[in-house]
A and B are shown apart, each in its own frame.
Chain A
Amino acid sequence: MLKELKTNIINTIVNLKPGEIGIITNFSVDQIPVKLQEMGCLPGNEVRLIQVAPFNDPLFLSVNGNFLAIRKETAELIEISKVA
C-alpha cells in the first residue's frame, strides 16, 4: 500500500535536494516557455539542482550542461524521475 502510494507520487524539480539529479520525464508544452526548452529543458535530459535561494525560490539548475535559474512555480510543472 505504502509502496504503491510512493510510486504514484509524481516528482518534479522542486522535489530535488541540492546536488541531486533527475531525468525530465514530462511537462505540459503549453505551460513551459519555448525559451526554457531551448536551453535544454526537454524530456529525457538530465537536470541537477545546484542551489536554492531562500524560501526555495528561485532554483539554480544545471540542465543538459546549461546553468540557469527558474522560479519555483515553473519548476513545479516539470516532472522528473530521480536518479540515485
Chain B
Amino acid sequence: MSKTINVALIGNPNTGKTSIFNLLTGLKQKVGNYPGITVEKKEGFCKLPNGDKAHVIDLPGTYSLNASSADEQLVVELLLNPQSQDYPELAVVVTDVENLKRNLLLFTQIKDLNVPTVLVINMADQIERRGISLDIDLLEKNLNTKVVLVSSRKNVGIEQLKETVANYKQLNTTGCVDLRKIDPGYFAKLEDAYRGEDLYQLWLVVSQGEPLLKINKNLLPVNEYSERNTSEIKRLQQKETIERYLFINKILKKAYNVDITKAKDWRGVLDRILTHKFWGYIVFFMIMLLMFQAIYNWSSIPMDFIDQSFSRFSEWTKNTLPAGALTDLLSEGVIPGVGGIVIFVPQIAFLFLFISILEESGYMSRIVFLMDRVMRRFGLSGKSVVPLISGTACAIPAVMASRNIENWKERLITILVTPFTTCSARLPVYLIIIALVIPDQTVLGFNVQGLTLMGLYVLGFGMAVFAAFILNKVIKNRSRTFFVVEMPGYKLPLLKNVLYTVIEKTKSFVLVAGKIILAISIVLWFLASNGYSDEFHHAEEIVRSQSQSGQLSESDIETAIASYQLRHSYIGTVGRAIEPAIRPLGYDWKIGIALISSFAAREVFVGTLATIYSVGNDEEATIKQRMSEDVNQRTGRKLFNFPTGISLLLFYAFALQCMSTIAIVKKETNGWKWPLIQLGFMSGFAYIVAMLAYQLLA
C-alpha cells in the first residue's frame, strides 16, 4: 500500500530551494496559510519511485534555527512540534555549492534535531565555473547523511533526490555537534533539570526569545536553567556557532576545494556598477521607469481587449438568455463585476514579473543596500523598499514581504505605511474618474490624463514616506536596531520560477478579489432591484403622473422610472441616508453606495457604479457614458465634475478601503490595535483632504 510522507524543504535564502520545490511538485502545488498566522505556506505533492507519495512543504528561507525573523520562527516552531500535521518525517536541506560552508551551519542544526536529514547541494552546474572540487563520499561519511547533487537550472539530480526521499528510513539520525562540549557544566545541569527531553531541542527552547515556542515553553517548568540572563545565553550561542564552524571546516578542508585561478565571476564587476554611489542609483531609477512603463503602456492592449470582451459577453447574455431576473443578475451584476477584476490581470502579472525577476537575479538586495540610509531617515529600513515597490501591485503580499525586517519598529512602520502606495485596486477607480473629469489634452508633449495618473503614484509614495516620518516620531522603539542583509551572487532568473510566481500570485489575486466582488455585486444587484417602499413598487405610476404626457418621449420616461426606482430601492435608501455625511465632499447617494461597498475592496467602486448604472437600463450606451451624463439632482450640475472627481481621487488615494489589508495587518502585528489605528488615520485623513479639495475647487 502506498503512503504519504511529509517532507520539509529547508534552506538558506538564495539557494534555489523554490526551484527544487517547483521541479519536485510541478504545478501540483498550492499556496495556503498556516493556521492562525498568515505566512504563506507552499506545499505540493510528488510521486516517489517506490509508489509512495511525498507531501512537500517549502518552508521560508532560513539562515539558522536561532530565529531572528518571523519567517525563521515559523520553521523552528514546526520542527519542534511533532504534534503538527505537517511535522516532517524527512528534512531536505538545500544548500548552494558556492556557499556550502555557511549553508552547512543550518544543516548541522537540523541534523541535531535527530530528524532524518538529506543534504542537497544545488547549483551543481556552477562547480566547474567556480573552480570547485567536491568529495561527495567524504561528505556523506563525515556528515552521516546522504548527499544529492542537484542542478535545478539544468534539471539534473531530481530523480536521485526522489529515490533518496523514498528510502528515508535508511538515513542515520545521529547529530553533528555535541552541546556538552561547549559548556559541560551548564548543559549537564540543563539536561538534568528536564530528564527525557532532547538536549538540543531543550536548548533551542531555552535560548529563543519570548514570543517563540509558546507551547513548548509552557511545558517546561521555569527554573534557574531556563531563566539564564540573555548575555550568558548569547555567549553560549556564540560558542555553539564557533563549534559548528569548527566541525564544518574540518570536513570541508578535506572534501571541498576552490581553485580561485579557475573561477570565473561577474559579481565583482556588476557590484562595482550596481552598488556605485552614483551609477547604482541611475540604474535603479531606470529599472523602476521601465517597470512602470511596462505596467501602464504594455498592459493597455490586453486590458482593452478584456474590457471589450466582457461588455460584449454581457450584452450577448442579455440578448440570448430568456429575459428574467436571473439573466439580469448575470448581465448586470455578475459579468460586469467579474470583468472589473479580470481587467487587472495584465498589470498584476507584469508587476509580479518584474518583482520576481528583481528577486531571482539577486538585484533586490542591491536596492536594499542603496536605499537603507535614505529610508532610515523616515524610520524605515532599506528592506522596506521591497514592500513599498510590491505595494504598487497589492498591499497584501507587500505587508508579508516586510517579514524579513529584523527591527520591530521599522517593520511596524513599513506595515503601516505600505497601504498608501498606489495598489492595482486603486487603478480602475483612478482610470475611470480621470477619464471623466480630466481633459484628454496634451500639454508640453505630455498627456494630461497620464500626468495625473503619475501624480497620483508620486502622491502615494510621498504620503507613505511622510506618514513614516510622523510614525517614527510617535512610536517608541521596542528593540535595538540591527540590520544584516545577504548580498547573493547574481543569477540569471529561471524562466520557470518567474512564470510560476506570476501565475500563482495572479491567480490568488483574481480568486480572492474575485470572490469578494462576485458576492458584493450579487448583493448590490439584489438591493438595487428591490425595495420595500410604496414609491419603489409604484414607481411607474408616480413618474407617469408627474410628467405631463407628450413632453417626454417614451424612452425618457423609462429612464426616469428606472432612476426613480433605484432611488427608492434598498440600496438607494441607504445611499440617501448617508448622503449628508458625504455631501461636503461633493458626492451624491450613488457615489455613497459605491463608497460603502468599496470599503471591502476599492476595486468594487467601479463594479458598484457599473451595477448601479446598469440596473434597469437596456440601452447600449457604455457605463462611462451614462456616468458622464448623470446629473446631481441637488446641484443640477453634472455629478462627475472636476471638484468631485479630484475629491474622489484624493479620497481613494488615502483611505484604507481593503478588508484583506486590515486582516493581514492584524495578523502580522498580532492584534487589532494597529490595523484600527491605521484604518482610522488613513480614512479620517482621506475624508478631510477630500473635503478640503472639494470645498476649495467648487
Chain A residues near B (Cβ < 8 Å): 29-30, 33-40, 42, 50-55, 57-58, 60, 64-71, 73-74
**Which residues on A sit within 8 Å (CB–CB) of B488?**
67
Choose among A33, A55, A65 the residue that contacts B68 (Cβ–Cβ < 8 A).
A33
**Which residues on A sit within 8 Å (CB–CB) of B365?**
69
Q: Known: A35-B68, A67-B487, A67-B488. Is A53-B369 also a contact (CB below 8 A)?
A: yes
Q: Known: A29-B235, A55-B373. Is A36-B486 also a contact (CB below 8 A)?
A: no
**Which residues on A sit within 8 Å (CB–CB) of B63?**
35, 38-39
Stretch among B31-39, B99-107, B582-590, B671-679 lining the A interface: B99-107
**Which residues on B sit within 8 Å (CB–CB) of A67?**
267, 486-489
Min CB–CB distance A50 → chain B (angstroms): 7
**Which residues on A sit within 8 Å (CB–CB) of B563?**
none
Q: Is the CB of B482 within 8 A of A33?
A: yes
Q: Is the CB of B382 within 8 A of A58?
A: yes
Q: Is the CB of B271 within 8 A of A60?
A: yes
**Which residues on B sit within 8 Å (CB–CB) of A68?**
484-487
Q: Is the CB of A58 within 8 A of B486?
A: no
Contact residues, B215-267 vs A (CB, 8 A): 230-231, 234-235, 237-238, 241-242, 245, 267
Min CB–CB distance B490 → chain A (angstroms): 11
Contact residues, B474-489 vs A (CB, 8 A): 481-489
Min CB–CB distance A58 → chain B (angstroms): 5
Choose among A34, A55, A60 the residue that contacts B66 (Cβ–Cβ < 8 A).
A34
- Within 8 Å of chain A (Cβ to Cβ): is B370? yes
* Selected A-B contacts with CB under 8 Å, 17 pairs: A35-B64, A35-B68, A37-B237, A39-B486, A40-B245, A42-B238, A50-B271, A50-B275, A51-B272, A51-B276, A65-B101, A66-B99, A67-B487, A69-B372, A70-B485, A74-B482, A74-B483
Q: Is the CB of A30 within 8 A of B234?
A: yes
CB nearest neighbor in B for A72:
B373
Contact residues, B492-542 vs A (CB, 8 A): none
**Which residues on B sit within 8 Å (CB–CB) of A52?**
277
Q: Is the CB of A73 within 8 A of B481?
A: yes
**Which residues on A sit within 8 Å (CB–CB) of B277?**
52-54
**Which residues on B sit within 8 Å (CB–CB) of A71?**
372, 481-483
Q: Once bound together, how far apart are the Cα atoms of A36 and B68, in whole Å?
A: 10
Q: Is the CB of A34 within 8 A of B369?
A: no
Chain B residues near A (Cβ < 8 Å): 63-64, 66, 68, 99, 101-102, 105, 230-231, 234-235, 237-238, 241-242, 245, 267, 271-272, 275-277, 365, 368-370, 372-373, 382, 406, 481-489
Q: Once bound together, how far apart are the Cα atoms of A70 and B485, in whole Å?
A: 7
Q: Is the CB of B373 within 8 A of A57?
A: yes
**Which residues on A sit within 8 Å (CB–CB) of B275?**
50-51, 53, 60
Chain A interface SS verdict (over half): mixed
Other A-B pairs beyond A29-B234, A38-B105, A53-B277, 8, CB < 8 Å? A34-B241, A35-B66, A35-B484, A42-B241, A58-B373, A60-B271, A64-B101, A69-B369
**Which residues on A sit within 8 Å (CB–CB) of B234?**
29-30, 34
CB nearest neighbor in B for A40:
B102
**Which residues on B sit within 8 Å (CB–CB) of A40?**
101-102, 245
CB nearest neighbor in A for B381:
A71
Min CB–CB distance A49 → chain B (angstroms): 12
CB nearest neighbor in A for B371:
A53
Q: Once bound together, how far apart are the Cα atoms of A67 and B406, in whole Å?
A: 18
Q: Once bound together, how far apart are the Cα atoms of A58 and B382, in whole Å?
A: 9
**Which residues on B sit within 8 Å (CB–CB) of A35?**
63-64, 66, 68, 406, 482, 484
Q: Once bound together, how far apart are the Cα atoms of A54 and B374, in whole Å?
A: 9
Q: Once bound together, how far apart are the Cα atoms of A24 and B267, in whole Å?
A: 24
**Which residues on B sit within 8 Å (CB–CB) of A29?**
231, 234-235, 238
Q: Is the CB of A33 within 8 A of B102?
A: no
Q: Is the CB of A36 within 8 A of B66?
A: no
Min CB–CB distance B123 → chain A (angstroms): 15
Q: Once bound together, how far apart are the Cα atoms of A73 and B373, in whole Å?
A: 12
Choose among B276, B370, B484, B489 the residue that contacts A36 (Cβ–Cβ < 8 A).
B484
**Which residues on B sit within 8 Å (CB–CB) of A53?**
275, 277, 369-370, 372-373
Min CB–CB distance B266 → chain A (angstroms): 13
Q: Once bound together, how far apart are the Cα atoms of A64 and B103, in whole Å?
A: 13
CB nearest neighbor in B for A30:
B231
**Which residues on A sit within 8 Å (CB–CB) of B242?**
42
Q: Once bound together, how far apart are the Cα atoms of A57 and B275, in whole Å?
A: 12
CB nearest neighbor in A for B244:
A38
Q: Once bound together, how far apart are the Cα atoms of A58 and B482, in whole Å?
A: 11
Q: Known: A37-B241, A38-B105. Is A57-B272 also a contact (CB below 8 A)?
A: no
Q: Is the CB of B99 within 8 A of A65?
A: yes
Q: Once bound together, how far apart are the Cα atoms of A54 and B373, in whole Å?
A: 8
**Which residues on B sit within 8 Å (CB–CB) of A30?**
230-231, 234
**Which residues on B sit within 8 Å (CB–CB) of A39?**
63, 102, 484, 486
Choose among B68, B230, B272, B486 the residue that contacts A66 (Cβ–Cβ < 8 A).
B486
Q: Once bound together, how far apart are the Cα atoms of A70 and B406, in whole Å?
A: 12
Min CB–CB distance A72 → chain B (angstroms): 9
**Which residues on B sit within 8 Å (CB–CB) of A51?**
271-272, 275-276
Min CB–CB distance A13 → chain B (angstroms): 13
Q: Is the CB of A33 within 8 A of B406?
A: yes
Q: Once bound together, how far apart are the Cα atoms of A64 and B100, in whole Å?
A: 12
**Which residues on B sit within 8 Å (CB–CB) of A50?**
271, 275
Q: Once bound together, how far apart are the Cα atoms of A75 and B406, in whole Å?
A: 17
Q: Once bound together, how far apart are the Cα atoms of A71 and B369, in whole Å?
A: 9
Q: Once bound together, how far apart are the Cα atoms of A50 and B267, in whole Å?
A: 11
Q: Is the CB of A70 within 8 A of B241?
A: no
Residue from B64, B272, B373, B382 whose CB has the most chain A CB atoms within 10 Å: B373
8 nearest A-B pairs in the assembled complex, by CB-CB distance: A67-B487, A35-B68, A69-B369, A33-B482, A51-B275, A30-B231, A71-B483, A38-B64
CB nearest neighbor in A for B234:
A29
CB nearest neighbor in A for B65:
A38
Q: Is the CB of B406 within 8 A of A34?
A: no
**Which residues on A sit within 8 Å (CB–CB) of B230?**
30
Q: Once bound together, how far apart are the Cα atoms of A68 and B482, in whole Å?
A: 13
Q: Known: A34-B237, A54-B373, A69-B369. Is A60-B487 also a contact (CB below 8 A)?
A: yes
**Which residues on A sit within 8 Å (CB–CB) of B484?**
33, 35-36, 39, 68-70, 74
Q: Once bound together, how far apart are the Cα atoms of A6 and B13, in whole Å?
A: 42
CB nearest neighbor in A for B374:
A54
Residue from A53, A64, A74 whose CB has the most chain B CB atoms within 10 Å: A53
Q: Once bound together, how far apart are the Cα atoms of A42 and B246, in whole Å?
A: 12
**Which residues on A sit within 8 Å (CB–CB) of B235?**
29
CB nearest neighbor in B for A66:
B102
**Which residues on A sit within 8 Å (CB–CB) of B382?**
58
Min CB–CB distance A42 → chain B (angstroms): 6
Min CB–CB distance A43 → chain B (angstroms): 8
